[in-house]
Amino acid sequence: MQLHFSPSMRSITILSSSSNVINSNGGGFIDLMKIKVAARHISYRTLFHTILILAFLLPFVFILTALVTLEGVNKCSSFDCLGRRLGPRLLGRVDDSGRLVNDFYKILNQVNTEEIPNDLKLPDSFSQLVSEMKTDQYDARTFAIMLRAMMEKFEREIRESKFAELMNKHFAASSVPKGIHCLSLRLTDEYSSNAHARIQLPSPELLPLLSDNSYHHFVLPTDNILAASVVVASAVQSSLKPEKIVFHIITDKKTYAGMHSWFALNPVSPAIVEVRGVHQFDWLTRENVPVLEAVENHYGIRNYYHGNHIAGANLSDTTPRHFASKLQARSPKYISLLNHLRIYLPELFPHLDKVVFLDDDVVIQRDLSPLWEIDLKGKVNGAVETCRGEDEWVMSKRFRNYFNFSHPLIAKNLDPEECAWAYGMNIFDLRAWRKTNIRETYHSWLKENLNSNLTMWKLGTLPPALIAFKGHVHPIDPLWHMLGLGYQHKTNIESVKKAAVIHYNGQSKPWLQIGFEHLRPFWNKYVNYSNDFVRNCHILET
C-alpha cells in the first residue's frame, strides 16, 4: 500500500496492489482511492510552539522517571503502569503510606481485644501466610487476626522450650558425669587391691602438723575427686610457700576410699593432705546434729528436693528466670550432711585457731598466705559481701533475695536491705567462733523453717548461716573471691584473671558439658590429664 499527499495537503491518494488478481497484460490490478482532506486550521507557528513546549517538558519527565526507578519502584512495562506510578507525583500528591500504617495500627488494636477462634487454622511459617493471603484474598482484619494468633503460638512454644531447657540443665547439673563416676569406682577398686593406695595420709611423722597453727590450714568438704584434685593442685601451684600448706579434705563414706587413693598415689608435696570421711569424726553423732538428721530423713523434705519439680508449678504465672532460681534452690546437695559441715568447724578441728574454708568448685590463682594476716576485728567470718556490685545475678544480693519477708518471724527479726555475703572462700577465726552461739542459732532457725514447711526460705545452707553469723562477719576485698562463673556467660575475662580465687558457683560447673567454654580453661589447666585413671575414664580436655 502506498500513500501520496498532494502539495497543498488537501488530498491523499491510496494505491493498493493485489497479487491475487492478475490482469491480461500480466500487470497488477490498480485500485485508486482519493480522499479529500479538510483545509488546515493549524498554522506552522502553532505547530512550532507545540513542539518547543514538548521539547522543554520531555527532559523533566525523563528525570522524574529515573528518580522513580532509583527509589526502588517496580519497573513498568506499559504507559498505563507508568502513568499510575507517576501520576500522583506529577499532580503533587503526597505519599499516603503513613495513612496506611495508621489504619493498620487501628486494625491491630481492634483485633488485640478480640477472642481468637479456637478452630482457626494457622500457617506454619510467614511465607505460607503470604501465600495464603494471595490465594484467599485476605482483608486487613483477617490478616491481623492470623498474625496475632501466629505470634501468640510462637511465644508459647518458645516459653515451653525455655522451661524445658531449664529443666534439662537442672538435671545435668544434679547428675554425676560418667567420667567422674568412673574415676571414683576405679580408685575405690585400687584402694582395695593396692597397698600404696592405702598408705596413711599424712605419714606418721607429719601427723603433729595437722594441729600446728603456724601452718596454713585449708578445709575442703567434697565428694568430687576430680574437683578436689583441682582445688589442691591450684592452691599448691599458686602458693609462694607450699611447704606451709595443710589440706583437710572431708568426704562421705562412699567416696572415702577413692579420695584417699587419689591423694595417696598423687602426692602434692611439700604440701600436706589429710583425707577423712564423715564416719571417722566421733563428734558427728545424732545427738549433736539432730536437725540435720531430720532434714535428711524427713519424707516431705526429701520429696521436695528429689521429687517432681514440675508437679504443682504454675508455669504460666512465673518467668523463666524465677523458675531457674526455684530449681537451683531444689538442688539435692542442700540436704547433704557434707554441705552443712561448715557450721561444725570449731568442733571438728578443736586444736586449730584459724582456717580457710573452700568449696570444691573454686580455683586458686594467687598465693593465699596473706589471708592469715587479715585482722578480722574480733569477728568470726571473713567473707566477700555480695551487695556491692552491679550485676543482678551475683553481686547485688541482700537479705530480701533469700528470705520470705511475708513470714512474721522473718519480718520481725531481719532487715530486708541487710547486705548478704558469700560462702565458698571464707576465713574463719575458730577461737572467736567458740565464744559464740552460732551453731545453736543455726540449728534453731533450721528447725523453725522445717516446722514452717520451708516457707521461711528455700535455698540451702546460706540463709540459716546469714542469720547465725549476723554481727560476726568482717568484709574482705572482693578481689580475694570472684563469684558467678557458673551463672554468668558474660563474665569479664580480665576480672577473672585478676581474682585470687574464682568460684564456679551455679549450675554450669567446669567439669560438666553445660559449663561455659570460655571459662573452662581456668579450671582445666590444673587437671592432670596424663594420669592413667583420668585417661582410662576418658576424662578429656575440652
296, 337 Cβ separation under 8 angstroms: yes
Q: Is 512 helix (H, G, I), strand (E, B) or coil?
A: coil
What Å distances lie between residue 278 and 323, 337, 499, CA to CA? 34, 9, 32
Q: Is 2 helix (H, G, I), strand (E, B) or coil?
A: strand
pLDDT tens digits, one per residue of 81-118: 555 555 555 555 555 667 777 777 787 787 787 788 77
526, 230 Cβ separation under 8 angstroms: yes
Tell me what the mean pLDDT of segment 316-333 comes to: 64
* Number of neighbours of residue 73 by Cβ within 10 angstroms: 14
- The residues with which 220 forms a beta bridge, in sequence order, are 249
pLDDT at 69: 59
Q: What is the 3-state secondary structure (H, E, C) of 95-116?
A: CCHHHHHHHHHHHHHHHHCCCC
Tell me what the mean pLDDT of segment 287-300 comes to: 62
- The residues with which 277 forms a beta bridge, in sequence order, are 251
pLDDT tens digits, one per residue of 73-82: 445 544 455 5
Nine-digit cell at 517? 567454654
Q: Is a pLDDT exceeding 70 seen at residue 369?
A: yes
What type of residue sits at position 142?
A: T
Q: What is the CA radius of gyration of the chain?
A: 42
222, 216 Cβ separation under 8 angstroms: no
Q: 349: which DSSP letter?
A: S
Q: Which residue has the higher pLDDT, 238 or 66?
A: 238
- Sign of the alpha-carbon torsion through 401, 407, 408, 410: negative
> Beta 381-383 vs 473-475: how paired, if at all?
parallel
The DSSP annotation for 413-471 comes to: H--TTSBPB--SEEEEEHHHHTTS-HHHHHHHHHHHHHHTTT-S--SSSHHHHHHHTTT
Nine-digit cell at 64? 522524574
Q: How many angstroms separate the CA atoms of 204 and 98, rounded?
A: 88
Q: Is a pLDDT exceeding 50 seen at residue 72?
A: no
Q: Is a pLDDT exceeding 50 seen at residue 26?
A: no
pLDDT at 216: 98
281, 338 Cβ separation under 8 angstroms: no
pLDDT at 112: 80
456, 410 Cβ separation under 8 angstroms: yes
Nearest to 414 by CA among 436, 445, 384: 445
Q: Is a pLDDT exceeding 50 seen at residue 184?
A: yes
Nine-digit cell at 65? 522517571
Which range is least confidently modeled, 331-335, 383-387, 465-469? 331-335
pLDDT at 289: 74
Q: How many angstroms separate the CA atoms of 177 and 12, rounded?
A: 104
Nine-digit cell at 475? 568484709
Tell me what the mean pLDDT of segment 426-445 comes to: 96
Tell me what the mean pLDDT of segment 449-464 comes to: 84
pLDDT at 25: 46
pLDDT band at 333 (very low <50, low <70, confident <90, very high): low
Nine-digit cell at 529? 590429664
What type of residue sits at position 192?
A: S
pLDDT band at 19 (very low <50, low <70, confident <90, very high): very low
The highest-confidence range among 73-82, 314-323, 462-471, by mean pLDDT, is: 462-471
Exposure of 358 by Cβ count < 10 A (0-12 exposed, 13-18 middle, 19+ buried)? buried
What Å distances lie between residue 284 and 249, 288, 320, 536, CA to CA? 16, 6, 40, 36
The residues near 388 (Cβ < 8 Å, ≥ 6 apart) are: 395, 419, 478
Q: Is a pLDDT exceeding 70 seen at residue 43?
A: no
The residues near 9 (Cβ < 8 Å, ≥ 6 apart) are: 37, 40
Q: Which residue has the higher pLDDT, 516 or 141?
A: 516
Q: Hunting for cell 501465600 — which residue is that?
A: 131
pLDDT at 78: 46
> Beta 28-36 vs 473-475: how paired, if at all?
unpaired
Q: Is a pLDDT exceeding 70 seen at residue 66?
A: no
Mean pLDDT rounded to a whole number for the chain = 81
Q: Is a pLDDT exceeding 70 seen at residue 352?
A: yes
pLDDT band at 29 (very low <50, low <70, confident <90, very high): very low
pLDDT at 79: 47
Q: How many angstroms separate the CA atoms of 262 and 267, rounded?
A: 8
Q: How many angstroms separate the CA atoms of 127 and 100, rounded?
A: 22
Q: How many angstroms separate the CA atoms of 297 and 278, rounded?
A: 17
Q: Which residue has the higher pLDDT, 454 or 196?
A: 196
